[in-house]
Amino acid sequence: MLGWELPPHNSGGLGVACYHLSKALAQQGASIDFVLPYDAHHPGTEYMTIHAATSLNPIHKFGIMGAYDSKSVAEQDLDKVDMRDLQTMRGVQKRYVTFVERMIKSKKIDVPDAIHAHDWLTMEAGMRAKQLTDAPLIVHVHATEFDRAGSFGSGNPIVHEIEYQGLMMADRIIAVSGITKNIIIHRYGIPADKIEVVHNAIDPSSMGTYDYDGRTYRYLESLRREGYTVVSTVTRFTAQKGLTQLVKGMARACERYDKLVLLLAGDGEQRDELIALTAELGISDKVFFTGFVRGKQWRDAYSVADVFVMSSVSEPFGLTALEAAHYGSALIISKQSGVGEVLKSIMRYDFWDTDKLADQLVGIATSPALSHQLRDDVKREYARLSWHDVARKCMHLYDRMKIGATA
Amino acid sequence: MYALVRPYEDWGDCMSKRGIALYLHVHQPWRVRDYTVFDTAENHDYFGPFSESHRNNKEIFEKVANKSYRPMTKLLKELLDTHPDFKVSLSITGTLLEQAEQWGPDVIDSFKALVDTGRCEIVAETYYHSLAFFYSRSEFEHQVEKHRQKIRDTFGVETSVFRNTELSYDNNLARWADEFGFKGILSEGWDPILGWRSPNYVYKPVGTKNIKLLMKNYRLSDDVAFRFSNRAWEEFPLTADKYDNWVNAALGDDGEVINLFMDFETFGENIWEDTGIFNFFRDFVGRWLANPANTFYTASEACETFEPADEIDTPYTTTWADTERDLSAWLGNGMQHEAMRHLYDLEGDILRTKDEALISDWRRLTTSDHAYYMCTKYFTDGDVHAYFSPYESPYDAFLYFINALRDVRFRLYEHHRHGDL
């Protein structure tokens, strides 16, 4: 298993998905060697062997190169990259590939039945491992460069090229949603029959028992007591997430119904732009910015919300929506978010359709019946999604791909 | 109680032919368009014309007219012309007639041609296909009267048999219909109500004086309406021969009448022509009537021909819907209850305005389909509901409905402001 991060050292959903997938696979009998680009302790991962490709501290990963930061990639050819340069993404990736090569050549591990590589970050290592072992390569796509670019441009062409090669070389591709599958078909020209959609899941038991602390967002709670409806989203503030449209939809909703507030939990490069936008639209007193949240503040940001909005322009899956369902929010999810393919008890809108979003916000805020129905239904619904089903699909895939197995 | 063995002098009844009472329900609702909170208090047109094709009432009417109303009325006319014993009963809602007047007057002419044969009976119901019986007796009676008048005006005939929306039925409804003067009423032949008895007889509702009860044989009805085109069904394909055998077997030696009740749109819309549904039906009617002991009855004829075999007690409401045969598809969740409660709460105020347009819009919102679109029983009966809902989700359906209802309130408020009330 070739991955880039695991909790608690994760900056997003990729690490969470890799953790739960590996765990469920191990419970079904898979023996897993998991390669990471940094060195750290990961509690609760005893079910697999973790290999650190570098001695980098995970802090570096957040500081210098976020797991999703593909913008700085300037050199496609890894041969030309200086392996000693651990200040750049490409340098770390080169070290990662080399590490995987040595691992195989030194016979420190058995030849795997399958190589499972997650996203462009590890695709090159996956291709190299396939070359050396002849084991089948499964490329698991959690996000493509088009998703990361949002509605602005199409992203870094070098990363596209790496993705294209990885997708071409892969024996099978797993896409986390139909939306992602379509992107792989139409933007990368990969035949549809090579791609399987395996939606992510959620493990409610891993969310732990936790008591909501109404003091974390005391002001919002006081507004709720006065009859306000709290709308929230927990995300990175990047173009991909469609937050400018969310803020515009919120302003539009406030034209019709005043008792609405928006909690924007997270941080990112769009933060200043969003703050300016709320002022421009005259709703700055109704929008709350938390900055980056973890732990209690993070969980309470879900719990304080009556409505959770996933406003993404392009969201391959969107695990946070399932987390919000777990904490009891009603969900409004853009049609461009893959998680909407597995949930029915939600309201959907096109990310650009701010009027429709506003209508849905006002509708939920002004109708207790609608709000309760959405919360109750989705709470029942999300819990049926299980990582065990995801792992079962992957195991089935590995079995079919085993060397010598007949198609 | 009625004796199961009839007195000697009644034996004449036994000479009555074995029959089929075929009853088809014709209906289209006024679907609410994507009516947003920004339309509320600005624009009072809830029902279109508008662009969303799944909710475009005109487009849907035209599609169904071409696929079902036109070809099926043509087939029924052909059967009436060919077989002197063929008969059919139809209930046609007021909302469907309004749409046909606007967008397909020839469809009304086709129905008229059927009625004019004297062997096509029109069955009474609420004009708006509403659940008013369960919310307001006065509004319910008004809608029944309005429908009777519409049928009189359109077809020149009186109605004498009643069916309530979605075949909803209970003892209270039967008593009401009896007192109103109907000679018959229709219901689902639901096993928990029938017990050991067969739906293939005429019954008397408990606590009534004159009215008779015809109960749907849902197995034979649903063989056509739901299973005909199902390739996974072990009896697929259903042939006229096979179906004729089943109907004969169901009647046995002393059965009286098989009540085949279904949506008119079964023919051509729910089940497409290319499945052979029209030819199947034509062949079956011919085969059935080839036996001189067999015939067809209109609903009122069936009531007049046969004496009640027993009394039927229906203490709770049954319908012809879903595996539960109850109203849970319409009134099963909080959204549906809230929408209906808010709607009927306005009744008195709305009627006092005497504003025809407002009253008509409010009544169009009483059509049960609106509540049906809010149904969240996805996971068991889900497929049926998904098929019949034009909205993306039940939550969207609720939202647009409530936005429209708020506009109705706004219009009421305007009347107050101008001192009209």
Amino acid found at B252 = G
In this structure, the answer to whether residues A102 and A188 fall within a common structural domain is: yes
The tens place of each residue's pLDDT in chain A, 407 residues long, gives: 999 999 888 877 788 899 999 999 999 999 999 999 999 999 989 999 999 999 888 876 544 455 556 777 888 888 888 877 777 888 889 999 999 999 999 988 888 999 999 999 999 999 999 999 999 999 999 999 988 876 567 789 999 999 999 999 999 999 999 999 999 999 999 999 999 999 999 888 777 667 788 888 888 999 999 999 999 999 989 888 999 999 999 999 999 999 999 999 999 899 999 999 999 999 999 999 988 887 888 888 999 999 999 999 989 999 899 999 999 999 999 999 999 999 999 999 999 999 999 999 999 999 999 999 999 999 988 888 899 999 999 999 999 887 555 54
Domain assignment present for B265: yes
In this structure, the answer to whether residues A299 and A337 fall within a common structural domain is: yes
In this structure, the answer to whether residues B304 and B333 fall within a common structural domain is: no
Domain assignment present for B389: yes
In this structure, the answer to whether residues A153 and A180 fall within a common structural domain is: yes
In this structure, the answer to whether residues B348 and B403 fall within a common structural domain is: yes
In this structure, the answer to whether residues B269 and B352 fall within a common structural domain is: no
Distance CA A25, CA A118 (A): 15
- Which of A276, A275, A246, A266 minimizes the C-alpha distance to A353? A246
Distance CA A318, CA A316 (A): 7
In this structure, the answer to whether residues A356 and A210 fall within a common structural domain is: yes
Using an 8 Å Cβ cutoff, are B51 and B67 in contact?
A: no
Question: B287, B312, B337: which is the final residue of a domain?
Answer: B312
In this structure, the answer to whether residues B77 and B189 fall within a common structural domain is: yes
Interface contacts A/B by beta carbons within 8 Å: 66
- Flag if A367 and B402 touch (Cβ within 8 Å): yes
Using an 8 Å Cβ cutoff, are A53 and A35 in contact?
A: yes
CATH code of the domain containing A372: 3.40.50.2000
**Tokens at residue A278, please?**
């709320």
Residue B274's CB is within 10 A of a number of other CB atoms, namely 8
Query: Which DSSP string corresponds to B144-177?
Result: HHHHHHHHHHHH-----EE--GGG-B-HHHHHHH
Range of the domain at A338: 205-382
Enumerate chain B positions whose Cβ falls within 8 A of a Cβ in A.
34, 36-38, 40, 333-335, 337-339, 376, 378, 392-396, 398-399, 402-403
In this structure, the answer to whether residues A224 and A187 fall within a common structural domain is: no
Placement of tokens 């750049």 in the chain: A88
Domain assignment present for A3: no
B166 is catalytic: yes
Domain assignment present for A74: yes
Domain assignment present for B323: no
Contacts of A332 in chain B (CB under 8 A): none
Q: Which whole-number Å values give the CA distances from A148 to A162, A315, B50, B313, in the listed order?
A: 15, 9, 36, 65
A360 touches B at CB < 8 Å = yes
In this structure, the answer to whether residues A123 and A237 fall within a common structural domain is: no
Cα nearest neighbour of B335 on chain A:
A369
**A222-267: pLDDT as tens digits:** 999 999 999 999 998 988 899 999 999 999 999 999 999 999 999 9
Domain assignment present for A324: yes
Residue A146's CB is within 10 A of a number of other CB atoms, namely 21
Domain assignment present for A2: no
Domain assignment present for B118: yes
Distance CA B374, CA B131 (A): 14
In this structure, the answer to whether residues B344 and B307 fall within a common structural domain is: no
In this structure, the answer to whether residues A158 and A302 fall within a common structural domain is: no
Using an 8 Å Cβ cutoff, are B258 and B217 in contact?
A: yes
- Flag if A370 and B335 touch (Cβ within 8 Å): yes
Distance CA B279, CA B268 (A): 11
Q: Which of B166, B256, B265, B301 is catalytic?
A: B166
SS3 state of residue A45: coil
- Flag if B338 and A368 touch (Cβ within 8 Å): yes
Question: B279, B312, B345: which is the final residue of a domain?
Answer: B312
Domain assignment present for A364: yes
Count: domains in chain A:
2
A254 touches B at CB < 8 Å = no
In this structure, the answer to whether residues B283 and B368 fall within a common structural domain is: no
Distance CA B125, CA B27 (A): 11
Range of the domain at B298: 16-312
Put simply, whether the predicted model's pTM sits higher than 0.90 gets the answer no
Domain assignment present for B55: yes
For an interface test with A, give the residue of B37, B376, B391 to mutate (most A CBs within 10 A): B37
**A125-171: pLDDT as tens digits:** 999 999 999 999 999 999 999 888 765 677 899 999 999 999 999 99
In this structure, the answer to whether residues A390 and A375 fall within a common structural domain is: no
In this structure, the answer to whether residues B241 and B349 fall within a common structural domain is: no
Q: Which whole-number Å values give the CA distances from A109 to A46, A104, B257, in the listed order?
A: 17, 6, 78
In this structure, the answer to whether residues B303 and B341 fall within a common structural domain is: no
In this structure, the answer to whether residues A174 and A261 fall within a common structural domain is: no
Residue A332 forms beta bridges with which residues? Answer: A309, A347
Domain assignment present for A407: no
Domain assignment present for B2: no
CA distance B134 to chain A (A): 20
In this structure, the answer to whether residues B292 and B357 fall within a common structural domain is: no
In this structure, the answer to whether residues A378 and A390 fall within a common structural domain is: no
Distance CA A48, CA A28 (A): 12
Backbone angles phi, psi at B122, to 5 degrees: -100, 130
Domain assignment present for B355: yes
A256 touches B at CB < 8 Å = yes
In this structure, the answer to whether residues B287 and B148 fall within a common structural domain is: yes
∠ CA B375-B377-B379, rounded to 5°: 145
Backbone angles phi, psi at B268, to 5 degrees: 105, -30
In this structure, the answer to whether residues A216 and A102 fall within a common structural domain is: no
- Flag if A373 and B395 touch (Cβ within 8 Å): yes
Contacts of A368 in chain B (CB under 8 A): 338
Q: What is the pLDDT of residue B50?
A: 66
CA distance B335 to chain A (A): 5
Domain assignment present for A8: no
A359 touches B at CB < 8 Å = yes
Q: Which helix (H) or strand (E) holds B179?
A: helix B171-180
Distance CA B80, CA A365 (A): 56
Domain assignment present for B204: yes
CA distance B30 to chain A (A): 21
- Flag if A369 and B338 touch (Cβ within 8 Å): yes
Count: domains in chain B:
2
In this structure, the answer to whether residues B359 and B412 fall within a common structural domain is: yes
In this structure, the answer to whether residues A345 and A314 fall within a common structural domain is: yes
CATH code of the domain containing B77: 3.20.110.20
In this structure, the answer to whether residues B258 and B380 fall within a common structural domain is: no
Identify each DSSP E strand in A15-171 by its residue range.
33-36, 49-52, 115-118, 137-141
SS3 state of residue B216: strand
Domain assignment present for A23: yes
